Structure 1
């Protein structure tokens, strides 16, 4: 009996210890050394149920965060319970060398910092892989060295034989530079040394942020090679490439399914190659450039919302003016604010500028819209100064100036001024009438008084009727406002339900894509479209793809949806090859990013090249 009591006491003690609020936290990597271009998985764990998600922002400095998942697990073993909450973060290192992963604060405890070694891909591996795949990088800087922020065309060409069945090209992460992707990928075939090779061509532009030596690290290709035993049984997409090889490089680059096609075949062999690094000397600002802001571009124009109209200025009344600066060869974020001088008698206020970047497939076009408000504070004539934009023409190697001419305007008195003058005039007339009436007696005064007295009862009756009507009107307005408030509340509730429904649909879409369930993914996409455009939803995937194609960032999403649509009508063996991760990467933010119509790219090109019209 005593032993039984001791065992029960020990069991209760262990249960209490396991369920207390003390929590352990830890972090670890699935591998501590990887090659350039290889992903690594960071796992963060806590034994406390109440632990909130860790702040992953410090990782952005050295890593691209590819994917994050959260899970929890409860166990009961030999009468003792345990709980673990885990966050698994898929990371892609941005640079080579030793990288320190900082400690993460979870509640009151911190994990230990970690170290990761990112090594260069071994030369023998690159040489061996070059027998069936090669990645070439090139830049086009012309005959002279580029300036700071001047765009540098950068081209990647991947050459593969038919044994490469899938993969991804990763552009370089460049220190002190911006890289922008251009146009769609090109694909074609060439013959080298008697061997037919498939070519994937990608175009970018690079803008250096500092003068001196710019080092462009190697680009990376990671893919799968067909094993010889089943090489003939595995089909490729058009041009020798499967669809998965043309995914956007900034989306999830990892193939989560572990196989491409039938579940009964063996997976391909992972292969990796890289391009050579490139070094470029970047020139500083020219010594003869005298502009206030550095704007290196191939062309520049300014559009003025006042160009085709003459606004009317009145004291105290704001007048809006929008200046749209468009450049060829710069992104929108690289364009500085337009400096505007303030005229006399007018205050000028500037709102936050709106920036955009477009491309025609060959270069980038930056757009910066700046809204100004002019508020006159005194009547009279004044001059609105000219607007001058100095910029550097990278083609002619000369400073140029784009000018909006000055304007002579007449500021009219405001409404307050007019009302003051009118009141003063009326007041003067009243005084004159008063003195005149006091100087002589009106012979009809008695008659007027009699008429006023006879009308007094009529006025009282009219006022009573007006009061009744006024009360009725107030009751009507009160009921109407309550009905309107109820309608607004109902609309808000409907909107809230729609948002909740959209979130639920997105969660289901993520699950369908992770399971590569093309039929369910298609149905959920159409439901999402109906929730967004309930007045005019697209009826099929083709119509949805056409609608997203018009969005500023919808090109990739439209391509993914067309691929899904195609898989639904493919043969059964081909349908099972559809991979949903790329679609989820394009759609995980929902349909909200595809509202804007892509009309400004053509507009910019036409403005910079008016002879095309």
Structure 2
């Protein structure tokens, strides 16, 4: 009966988890726009269920399109002990001919994608600004938050537009481009009013997160602004300057792979009881949050729970969240704990090695290994740390800073005690001398 309750619970949780996870088709092909010009650069995204190293045969595309470097990523989810993988390829493409062009079906093993109809128009010639005053009516600036970045780490590009007139509703904001890596739009354009050189302007701001995965000096093609015909700015297109950054190799390679390049890492660990049947049942949720890292570079797993008989994996899922600060990736694991007898059971911990890209230091964020005691009320013992674990800093410099602060506090406390003791001693000595003086005969 107990086994049936356990199986029923896992089945219900599996169904709920599967409902929350989007299901992809066997082979999907998408493009980020349906109409292009000869000057446009679009991104073709191909997704297939499974772990594939090689993309589909792309030769049918080469007749009508130019292809850029292929970027591959793998998305993995675990549900009720089942591992599901989805492979994604992203390819920049540009059209060679105009007219109505069909993106032909692509084939991967036994899977065939659907064709896509595209409309290709001639590229527009840029209308040059006739005067400096016209050019000053619309200015674009692009800035990077750093000029040196680690491979697969986050690089933020802030884009600012200064304009005297409101932008047309059908203005197209073209993202920056890197040959190898990911570019993610963080927020939609936001417009405010400001005074620039004592003159009123409208200021439109938006930002992107870039994740280059090619080492060395790379060129970033700046973002662009495409305006519809007949606009008040007398411009068809406005380009930001190209930028250059240095991409460093991934830091600290260990037997488990490279350390995660992240701006901050958090671990949360919660444990709760489930009132099902007579046997104790616990549900443990452990979550890794990495700031400035994409989900495809998160670790495959957090806990080695499969090595323990009382641990059953309910689900594992990753996700990405966007904000003005960049990309934050989250990996969550749910484990069902079903100890059969009263007693003490191991409570496995986890350890995440990551490289702090803001301070250039190696760090470790961990949850310690411990034990849980299962009694009549199966109350967890004190060794289970439910709060977020602080970062453990293995580098000597940071340890020395912490030790210096602690030593300074101890020294200051001792000095205060010495001063107080000395003051008390002097006052007591003066009091004794005063008593002796009063008793001394004249």
TM-score calculated relative to the size of structure 1 = 0.39
Is 1:391 the counterpart of 2:396? The answer is: no
* Larger helix proportion of the pair: 1
Identify the residue that residue 573 of structure 1 maps to in structure 2: none
1:319: how far off?
A: 2.9
The alpha-carbon distance between structure 1 residues 209 and 126, as it changes in their structure 2 partners (threshold 3 A), is farther
Identify the residue that residue 406 of structure 2 maps to in structure 1: none
Asked if structure 2 preserves the Cα contact closer than 8 Å seen for 1:177 and 1:206, the reply is: yes
The separation in 2 between residues aligned to 1:407 and 1:608, in whole angstroms, is 17
The separation in 1 between residues aligned to 2:286 and 2:223, in whole angstroms, is 39
Out of 226, 251, 263, the position equivalent to 1:286 is 251
Unaligned 5+ residue runs, structure 1? 1-29, 39-57, 64-92, 232-267, 414-605
Is 1:320 the counterpart of 2:277? The answer is: no
Identify the residue that residue 335 of structure 1 maps to in structure 2: 298
The alpha-carbon distance between structure 1 residues 371 and 151, as it changes in their structure 2 partners (threshold 3 A), is same
The separation in 1 between residues aligned to 2:296 and 2:208, in whole angstroms, is 17
The separation in 2 between residues aligned to 1:304 and 1:112, in whole angstroms, is 46
Out of 126, 141, 144, the position equivalent to 1:139 is 144
Is 1:177 the counterpart of 2:142? The answer is: no
**Residues 485-543 of structure 1: CA deviation (Å, up to 9, x unaligned):** xxxxxxxxxxxxxxxxxxxxxxxxxxxxxxxxxxxxxxxxxxxxxxxxxxxxxxxxxxx
The separation in 2 between residues aligned to 1:115 and 1:223, in whole angstroms, is 19
The alpha-carbon distance between structure 1 residues 96 and 204, as it changes in their structure 2 partners (threshold 3 A), is same
Q: What secondary structure does 1:353 align onto?
A: strand
Out of 155, 160, 164, the position equivalent to 1:157 is 160
* Larger strand proportion of the pair: 2
Rg bigger for which structure?
A: 1
**Residues 286-341 of structure 1: CA deviation (Å, up to 9, x unaligned):** 246665464222221111112xx689999986532100112222345543344322
The separation in 1 between residues aligned to 2:318 and 2:304, in whole angstroms, is 22
The alpha-carbon distance between structure 1 residues 343 and 146, as it changes in their structure 2 partners (threshold 3 A), is same
Q: What secondary structure does 1:369 align onto?
A: strand
The alpha-carbon distance between structure 1 residues 118 and 362, as it changes in their structure 2 partners (threshold 3 A), is farther
1:181: how far off?
A: 0.9
1:146: how far off?
A: 0.8
Q: What are the residue-to-residue correspondences of 1:515-534 with 2, within 5 Å?
A: none
Q: What secondary structure does 1:218 align onto?
A: coil
1:354: how far off?
A: 3.3
The separation in 1 between residues aligned to 2:116 and 2:183, in whole angstroms, is 33
Identify the residue that residue 148 of structure 1 maps to in structure 2: 151
RMSD value, Cα: 5.0
Out of 361, 366, 381, the position equivalent to 2:324 is 361
Q: What secondary structure does 2:237 align onto?
A: strand
**Residues 339-365 of structure 1: CA deviation (Å, up to 9, x unaligned):** 322487624333443334345533443
Unaligned 5+ residue runs, structure 2? 1-33, 43-60, 69-90, 107-113, 377-387, 392-442
The separation in 1 between residues aligned to 2:313 and 2:122, in whole angstroms, is 47
Identify the residue that residue 296 of structure 1 maps to in structure 2: 261
How many residues align structurally? 291
**Residues 140-186 of structure 1: CA deviation (Å, up to 9, x unaligned):** 216xx211222111011222233855523222354421323147624
**Residues 564-590 of structure 1: CA deviation (Å, up to 9, x unaligned):** xxxxxxxxxxxxxxxxxxxxxxxxxxx
Asked if structure 1 preserves the Cα contact closer than 8 Å seen for 2:275 and 2:281, the reply is: no
The separation in 2 between residues aligned to 1:187 and 1:173, in whole angstroms, is 26
Asked if structure 1 preserves the Cα contact closer than 8 Å seen for 2:154 and 2:210, the reply is: yes
**Residues 214-258 of structure 1: CA deviation (Å, up to 9, x unaligned):** 44323221224767xxx7xxxxxxxxxxxxxxxxxxxxxxxxxxx
1:130: how far off?
A: 3.8
The separation in 2 between residues aligned to 1:368 and 1:293, in whole angstroms, is 18
